Structure 1
Amino acid sequence: MLVGVPKEIKNHEYRVGLTPAGARELARHGHQVLVQRTAGTAIGLPDDDYAAAGATLCDTAADVYAQADMIVKVKEPQPAECAMLRRGQILYAYLHLAPDPKQAAALVKSGAVCIAYETVTGPGGGLPLLAPMSEVAGRMSVQVAAAHLESPAGGMGLLLAGVPGVAAAHVVVLGAGVVGTHALQIAVGMGARVTAIDRNVGRLRELDLIFGNRITTLCSSAHTVEQSVLDADAVIGAVLIPGASAPRLVTREMIARMRNGAVVVDVAIDQGGCFETSHPTTHAKPTYVVDGVVHYCVANMPGAVARTSTFALGNATIGHALALADQGWKRALADDPHLRRGLNVCDGHITHEAVALALGQPYLPAEQLLAPAQA
């Protein structure tokens, strides 16, 4: 199979879909790898490293899309990229379709086989291809909150850890999955006063065993969310329903009652966001202010630490990339129910139930498209 790696074109996106090590693995399996020139140079992965790994270099994204059987990316294809996809071509990337009907329509129109990292499941549960970026975003979220609590960034002028005689900032983390757990780790490490809110009491028990009396755990309800948000200096939105739009846990009215100069970081913005006042921003202009509250809603947070993120993502995605290249998409998806959960759009149909529900579109189970391969 010919595997293509275009350069990412989303605003301030420096990650790359395949490292030289990943290209070498595919080449060892007998596949051709086509990489757009300078795809990885911004993060210290020069073209020569890809060539040494057995990849062929080309000048434009159009060359990649025209020749490749499978496109390996990081972020969702932009409109110009969607237009270059063709029927039967595999797209393997983050898609986050639930809040993005325009992208979904473009992918349906293309007829491509679109596999979303964020809905591939794991044998032990969880979302193993989303997890590394959730780890990065969770850790970054507290750094970002701390930076934007500073006065020059529009915050109230608060040091997250406080100092002797002055109280530490109160950080509230909504959601205790991968993002939330890593946010808690950094917030506790930086000396903040920390509250974790989740609806899963079993998960809260686990966090209590991990962090002990260094955090407060609360079971999620409208009351506990409201009371905690109103007392917070920084709120991290870390909720996720796989494939679906994020629930809006924090209302506009709550935002209006928060302290001036407080900060909210919406890590769930890729799935629509969990604050009613959220809308996507970019690294070029990451924040805006609503009712005196600083909102950080960058839709590709891990892109700011692109080298770390690229290697973490490559570790997680290369196994399925090899399976798709070795077996073809029909056999690979038929043989692996977890990879099959990643199929969001295929042959003009939406094939993930939560995505279809969020978009209000018809749903065709992936199994119906794979019947010949499963026979």
Structure 2
Amino acid sequence: MKIGVPAEIKNNENRVGLTPAGAFELVNYGHEVFVQEEAGVGSGFSDEDYRDAGAVLLPTIEAVYALAEMIVKVKEPTPYEYPLIKKGQVVFTYFHFASSEALTRAMIASKAVCIAYETVSDEDGFLPLLTPMSEVAGRMAIQQGAKYLEKPIKGRGVLLGGVPGVPPGKVLVLGAGVVGVQAAKMAAGLGAHVTILDINMKRLRYVNDIMPNHVVTEFSSVFNIKRHIKNHDLIIGAVLIPGAKAPNLITRDMLKEMRPGTVLVDVAVDQGGCFETTRPTTHEDPTFIIDDIVHYCVANMPGAVPYTSTLALTNVTLPYVLKLANLGWEAACEKYPDLGRGLNIVKGEVVIDEIKKAFESALV
């Protein structure tokens, strides 16, 4: 199979869909790998690294899309890429369709086979291709939140870990999934007082077992959220419903209950966000302020640490890329049900209910 790896063109997205080691594996199986020149530079991989791995370097993104039978990316295609995608071409990447009707319509019109990293899942609902980026984003959420709590950036002026004689900052984490647990772990490591909310008691028991005593678990409810936002300095939105739009757990009216300079970090922004006031931002312009509340809503947080993120992503995507390349998408998705659950749009047809529900009758 001919596999194409274009450069990512989303704002400040420095990751790349495949490492040179991944390219080597594919070539070793007899496949052809076409990589856009300088696609890996942001992640620390040179064109020479890809050539040594057996990949063919192409000068433009257009050339990559034109030759490839399967595109391996990191982020969803941008409007510039929409017309480059061919009928029947497999596009394997993070899509997060439920947050963008425009992207959904474009992929329907392209009649491509869209396989989304974020919905590949096993029978227990584990999301192997989302997990490593969730781990990165959860840890980064605390790093960024701690920074934006500083007064020069309009935060409350709170040091999360406190100092002797001064209490630590308070972190509220909404969601005890991968993102939430990693965020809680980082915040606890800094010495902050952490409260983590979820509706899944199994997850709360797990968190309670593995975390130190200054991480407190509570059942998530509107009442508890409203109570905690009044006295927490940093609030992390970490709720995920696979393939669907995230619920708005904090409304615009609730901002008035928070102390000025409170920081909101919405890690669910790719899925529409779990704060009503969320709108996607970029690493170039990462924050905005509403009612004196600082919002950090960067849609590709792991893109800021591309070396770590690209290695972590390829570790989990490469086995699936090999299955798709070796067997073809139809046979691979039939043989491996976890991969089959990644199918979102197939040759113009939406095949996952969460996307249909997100737009209700808009796609009919």
Verify same fold: TM over 0.5.
yes
- Cα distance, 1:359 vs. partner? 1.9
Equivalence for 1:351: 351
Equivalence for 2:46: 46
Distance in 1 (alpha carbons) for counterparts of 2:228 and 2:241: 22
- Secondary structure of the equivalent of 1:80? coil
Distance in 2 (alpha carbons) for counterparts of 1:158 and 1:271: 29
Partner deviation per Cα, 1:324-345 (whole Å, 9 max, x = no partner)? 0000001001111111111111
| Conserved? CA contact 2:87–2:112, under 8 Å | yes
- Secondary structure of the equivalent of 2:98? coil
Partner deviation per Cα, 1:267-312 (whole Å, 9 max, x = no partner)? 0000000011111001110000010000000000000001100000
Name the aligned partner's letter for residue 64 of structure 2. Answer: V
Distance in 2 (alpha carbons) for counterparts of 1:117 and 1:298: 19
Partner deviation per Cα, 1:244-269 (whole Å, 9 max, x = no partner)? 00000011111122110110000000
User: Unpaired runs of 5+ in structure 2?
Assistant: none
Equivalence for 1:147: 147
- Secondary structure of the equivalent of 1:24? helix
Equivalence for 2:57: 57
Instruction: Spell out the pairing of 1:88-167 with structure 2 (5 A cutoff).
Output: 88-122=88-122, 125-167=125-167
TM-score by length of 2: 0.98
| Conserved? CA contact 1:98–1:245, under 8 Å | yes
Name the aligned partner's letter for residue 65 of structure 2. Answer: Y
Distance in 2 (alpha carbons) for counterparts of 1:303 and 1:154: 24
- Secondary structure of the equivalent of 1:311? helix
Distance in 2 (alpha carbons) for counterparts of 1:70 and 1:240: 28
User: Unpaired runs of 5+ in structure 1?
Assistant: 365-375
| Conserved? CA contact 2:122–2:337, under 8 Å | no
- Cα distance, 1:235 vs. partner? 0.1
Partner deviation per Cα, 1:9-62 (whole Å, 9 max, x = no partner)? 000000000000000010011000000000011221000000000100000000
Equivalence for 2:242: 242
- Secondary structure of the equivalent of 1:132? helix
Distance in 2 (alpha carbons) for counterparts of 1:168 and 1:247: 30
| Conserved? CA contact 1:269–1:298, under 8 Å | yes
Identity of aligned residues (%): 53
Distance in 1 (alpha carbons) for counterparts of 2:361 and 2:91: 21
TM-score by length of 1: 0.95
* RMSD (Å) for aligned C-alpha atoms: 1.2
Name the aligned partner's letter for residue 344 of structure 1. Answer: N
Instruction: Spell out the pairing of 1:1-375 with structure 2 (5 A cutoff).
Output: 1-122=1-122, 125-360=125-360
Alpha-carbon distance change, 203 to 4 in structure 1, aligned in 2, over 3 angstroms:
same
Distance in 1 (alpha carbons) for counterparts of 2:272 and 2:319: 29
| Conserved? CA contact 1:343–1:352, under 8 Å | yes
- Secondary structure of the equivalent of 1:128? coil
Distance in 2 (alpha carbons) for counterparts of 1:57 and 1:359: 39
Distance in 1 (alpha carbons) for counterparts of 2:103 and 2:312: 26
Distance in 2 (alpha carbons) for counterparts of 1:359 and 1:65: 29
Distance in 2 (alpha carbons) for counterparts of 1:230 and 1:122: 39
- Cα distance, 1:203 vs. partner? 1.1
Runs of 4+ that moved beyond 4 A: 361-364
Distance in 2 (alpha carbons) for counterparts of 1:149 and 1:301: 18
